[in-house]
Amino acid sequence: MTTQLMIPENALTINETEAFQALTFVTNASLKTISEHSHVPENLYDEASRLGLIPSGPVQYIYNGVDGNEDNVFRLAIALPIEQPGERPFAFVYRKFPVFRHVSYAYTGPWSDLLVVYDALFSQLYRNGYTNDGRVREVYRLVDLENQANNITDIQIGLAPTTH
């Protein structure tokens, strides 16, 4: 099990992603209800294939307004980056995501440990004098449903404009 002690003291690095276009599912969710959308990534890949779209990166969960309280509702976007939009999608939308300035941490392990990891990362974020802008992204670099210890998730915590 991942613990706070296993995360390096200076684990967070400042990064900026490039803007990207994605086939996207958008909804309101809470941490309690997010698992209701676990089928969406596979559906995004199926729809991209049906439309002849070329994925340009792994699926991302993009949280806007999440605060760690499992009952609070936030805006969730599940996005599959694509090279360029095509025909109109059936159940999804095309969305352009802007440049995103954030601190990041590459987490390897099961998603069931993410709450502990987030606690450690946010403690480090605030200790280092940063402020979250209300956005968090999870980029699923490697998904291994049979052995979740192999999962690699890039955790990106948005930085408020006045931060460093």
Is residue 2 over pLDDT 70?
no
Lowest-pLDDT range, 7-16, 45-54, 98-107, 112-121? 7-16
d(CA 32, CA 14): 29
Which residues does 50 contact at the CB level (< 8 Å), separation at least 6? 90
Mean pLDDT score of the chain? 91
Three-state secondary structure call for residue 59: coil
Q: Which amino acid is present at 145?
A: L
pLDDT, residue 164, reads 52
Q: Which amino acid is present at 142?
A: L
pLDDT in tens, 6-30: 677 778 889 999 999 999 999 999 9
Domain 11-159 falls under CATH 3.20.80.10 = yes
Consecutive H or E run containing 121:
helix 114-127
Consecutive H or E run containing 20:
strand 20-29
pLDDT in tens, 38-92: 999 999 999 999 999 999 999 999 999 998 888 999 999 999 999 999 999 999 9
Per-residue tokens: 19:
């803007």
**Minimal CA–CA distance to 90: which of 46, 60, 57?**
46
